[in-house]
Amino acid sequence: MSTGALRVILADQLSTRLAVITEADKTRDIILMAEVMSEASYVRHHVKKIAFLFSAMRHYAQALRAAGFTVRYVTLDDEDNSHSLEGEILRATEDFALERVVVTEPGEWRLRESFEALRLALPVPFDILPDTRFLCSHAEFNTWAEGRREFRMEYFYREMRRRYGILLETDGAPCGGRWNFDADNRKPPPKGLTSPRRLSFRKDSITLEVLDLVRHRFADGYGRLEPFDFAVTRRQALRELDHFITHILARFGDHQDAMIEGEPYLNHSLLSAYINAGLLYPLEVCQKAEAAYRQGRVPLNAAEGFIRQILGWREYVRGLYWRYMPGYLDNNALEARQPLPWFYWSGETRMNCMLQALSDTLEHAYSHHIQRLMITGNFALIAGIDPKAVHEWYLAVYADAYEWVELPNTLGMALHADGGLLASKPYAASGNYILRMSNYCDTCPYDPSISTGDKACPFNALYWDFIARHRDRFEQNRRMPFVYATWDRMGADKQQALRAEARRHVVAMHEGRL
C-alpha cells in the first residue's frame, strides 16, 4: 500500500501553522526532519546556533509525535545519514512508497535551487509551498516595488502598518500622529545604563544530549558552547517574549543605539533566533507589543520602534533578498577587496569596541544591531573588506543568521555594497560616533580624539580615507552635506597624513597588530 506524502520540515521551519503540517494526513503522511552535515557546515556556524537548532528540532519532533504524527527523524549520528537534505529526501522516497513530497520554501536561494534540481530526480511530484510565516509574500513585495525609482523601507512599513492594522487610530491615522518615532530613539547611554535580568532555560535530557553531540562533532567549531541559555520550544520562546514585553520593551526605544561594555543585550528583545526558526510568529510579537502600548504599559516610541523592526525591516529585507537573488550576492559596488582580518574569528584585537562586539559574538552567538552595524559592520566598510568574506562571517556567527535576512543587512545596510539599493547613505562613522554612543572608548588603548600616531583611534583615519576614496559616489548624496566640506577644510597635509595612516592600519589589521 502506498503511504501518503513525505512532509519535510527544515530546522528553521519549526512552526505548526505551515500548510506542510496543517494539511497533513496523520494516518498516511510521514514527516521528515534531518540533522545533516551539509547544512551544519556550509559556513562555520557558531556551535550555539547548531545546538539551538538541533535541540529545537528534536523537541519539535517530539511534540509532533505526541500529537499523533509519524516522524522520521534522522540524527547527525545516524549511520545511514547521507548528510544532505536532498540525500535524505531521496532516501525516504526509496524507503517508503510515497505519493508526493512536500516542503515549505527554504529561506536561502542555494537550497531552493537545489530543491528545484531535486524535483527532476525524484520519482514522485515535489511541491514547494510558500512560507506563510512571513507577512509579505514575494508577489506582494514585487507589486510594491514595481515601478519605484527608489526603495525606502519607511514607505513599505507604512503600507504594512495599514495592511495589518497595527498602531492605527480608528480613522486610519498612525497612533501619536506620526508613523515613525526614531528621532526619539537615538539617545546616548546615560552613566550606569544596565540591562534587566535575562531568562535562562533549564536543560532537559534532549538538550544535554545535543550539547554532548555538538561538543564532540564540532570540537573545532566557532564560539563557546556553554553556558547555553536558549529557549528550545515554542512554550519557552513565548516565555522569553512575555518577559521582554513585561520587563524590557518599555525601555527599548530610548537607548536602542547605545552600547555598553559587559551588557551584550541592553534592552533588545533577543527574539530574532526564535522568530526566524519558527518558534514565534512575527505578527503575534507585533500584536503583543501593540497591546502593551494600548494598555499603557509601554510608551509609543518603544512599541513603534520595536514593531518597525519586525513589520518593517524584517519583511523588507526578505523582499529585497528574493527580488534580487542570485545576483545580489555578487554585489561589490564600492569595490572592496581586502580579505577579512583574522581577528573577526579569533576576537583578538586591541580596539576595545571591536573586542567587545567580537567577544559578545563568540560568547553568545549574539550581538545587538548597533554592534553589528556600527562596530563590526562599520569597520569592515571603512577598511574596505570584501563583502563576500564579511557576509560569510555574519552568516556563520549569529544564532539568528540565515541568508534571506543576513545578506541584505550585511551587503546592503552595513557595507553599501548594493550601491544604495537598501540604504540611501553609507553607515560609515569615525571614533567620535562610538565615543558618543558607548562607553567602549573609556578603557581602550586608542584615543578617539586622535587621528594619527600610536594612540590614534583606527576608526578615524579609516573613516576619512573611506570618505576620500569614494568622493565621486557620495559627494552629491543629500544625506552627507557637511562631510566633504569638512574634508576639504583640512588641507592637503592633513589629508595626506590621514590617508597614509589609514594604509598603515590596513597593514596592521592583517598582521594582527590593530
| 30, 53, 292, 415: residue in contact with ligand DLZ (rule CB under 6 A) | 53
- What is the Cα–Cα distance from 410 to 380, expressed in whole angstroms? 10
Residue ranges in 459-488 that form contacts with ligand SF4 under rule CB under 6 A: 459
| SS percent in the chain: helix, strand, coil, step 5 | 50, 5, 40
Position with the least CB separation from ligand DLZ: 107
6 pairs with which residues across the strands?
A: 30, 101
Would you tell me the crossing angle of helices 315-324 and 153-164 to the nearest 10 degrees?
A: 120
The site map against ligand DLZ for 110-149 (x = CB under 6 A) is -x--------------------------------------
Would you count residue 14 as binding ligand SF4 (CB under 6 A)? no
- What is the Cα–Cα distance from 339 to 289, expressed in whole angstroms? 41
Q: Rg of the Cα trace of the chain?
A: 24
Q: In this structure, what is the dihedral angle of CA atoms 103, 105, 107, 113, given to the nearest 10 degrees?
A: 100
Q: What are all long-range contacts of 182-185, with beta carbons under 8 Å and residues at least 24 apart?
A: 182/305, 182/308, 184/253, 184/254, 184/301, 185/253, 185/254, 185/256, 185/257, 185/301, 185/305
Name which of ligand DLZ, ligand FAD, ligand SF4, none residue 276 binds, using a CB cut-off of 5 to 8 Å depending on partner kind. ligand FAD
| 5, 6, 11, 334: residue in contact with ligand DLZ (rule CB under 6 A) | 11
Strands 30-34 and 70-74, how do they pair? parallel
Task: Collect all residues with Cβ–Cβ distance below 8 Å to 397 and sequence separation of at least 6.
Answer: 46, 222, 223, 361, 362, 365
Kindly determine how many residues on this chain lie close enough to bind ligand DLZ according to the rule CB under 6 A.
17
- What is the Cα–Cα distance from 185 to 232, expressed in whole angstroms? 31
Name which of ligand SF4, ligand FAD, ligand DLZ, none residue 457 binds, using a CB cut-off of 5 to 8 Å depending on partner kind. ligand SF4
The secondary structure of residue 456, as a DSSP letter, is B
Stretch that binds ligand SF4, among 60-68, 198-206, 281-289, 428-436 (CB under 6 A): 428-436
- What is the Cα–Cα distance from 278 to 196, expressed in whole angstroms? 25
The site map against ligand SF4 for 320-359 (x = CB under 6 A) is -------------------------------xxx------
Side-chain half-sphere exposure of 124, counting CA atoms within 13 A: 20
Name which of ligand DLZ, ligand FAD, ligand SF4, none residue 459 binds, using a CB cut-off of 5 to 8 Å depending on partner kind. ligand SF4
| 404, 446, 463, 464: residue in contact with ligand SF4 (rule CB under 6 A) | 446
What count of other Cβ atoms lies within 10 Å of the Cβ of residue 17? 11
Strand ranges of the sheet holding 126-129, from the earlier edge strand across to the other edge: 70-74, 30-34, 5-8, 100-104, 126-129
User: Are 255 and 299 in contact, with CB atoms under 8 Å apart?
Assistant: no
Q: How far is the CB of 53 from ligand FAD (least distance, A)?
A: 13
Q: How far is the CB of 248 from ligand SF4 (least distance, A)?
A: 26
Residue ranges that bind ligand FAD, judged by CB under 6 A = 268-272, 275-276, 306, 309-310, 313-314, 317, 368-369, 372-373, 377, 394, 398, 400-401, 405-406, 409-410, 413-414
| 264, 412, 426, 448: residue in contact with ligand SF4 (rule CB under 6 A) | 448
Kindly determine how many residues on this chain lie close enough to bind ligand SF4 according to the rule CB under 6 A.
14
Is the torsion defined by CA of 166, 167, 170, 172 positive or negative?
negative
Of the two residues 352 and 409, which places its CB atom closer to ligand SF4 in the complex? 352
Task: Collect all residues with Cβ–Cβ distance below 8 Å to 265 and sequence separation of at least 6.
Answer: 195, 198, 366, 368
Q: How far is the CB of 250 from ligand SF4 (least distance, A)?
A: 29
Stretch that binds ligand DLZ, among 39-47, 129-137, 348-356, 486-494 (CB under 6 A): 39-47
Helices (H), ranges, 80-146: 85-95, 109-121, 138-145
Q: How far is the CB of 473 from ligand SF4 (least distance, A)?
A: 25
Name which of ligand SF4, ligand FAD, ligand DLZ, none residue 111 binds, using a CB cut-off of 5 to 8 Å depending on partner kind. ligand DLZ
Of the two residues 278 and 387, which places its CB atom closer to ligand DLZ in the complex? 278
Distance of CA 322 to the CA centre of its chain: 16
What count of other Cβ atoms lies within 10 Å of the Cβ of residue 186? 15
The site map against ligand DLZ for 72-111 (x = CB under 6 A) is -------------x--------------------xxx--x
Q: How far is the CB of 352 from ligand SF4 (least distance, A)?
A: 4
Of the two residues 91 and 318, which places its CB atom closer to ligand FAD in the complex? 318
Residues that bind ligand DLZ (CB under 6 A): 10-12, 34-36, 39-40, 45, 50, 53, 85, 106-108, 111, 402
Residues that bind ligand SF4 (CB under 6 A): 351-353, 431, 434-435, 440-441, 444, 446, 448, 457-459
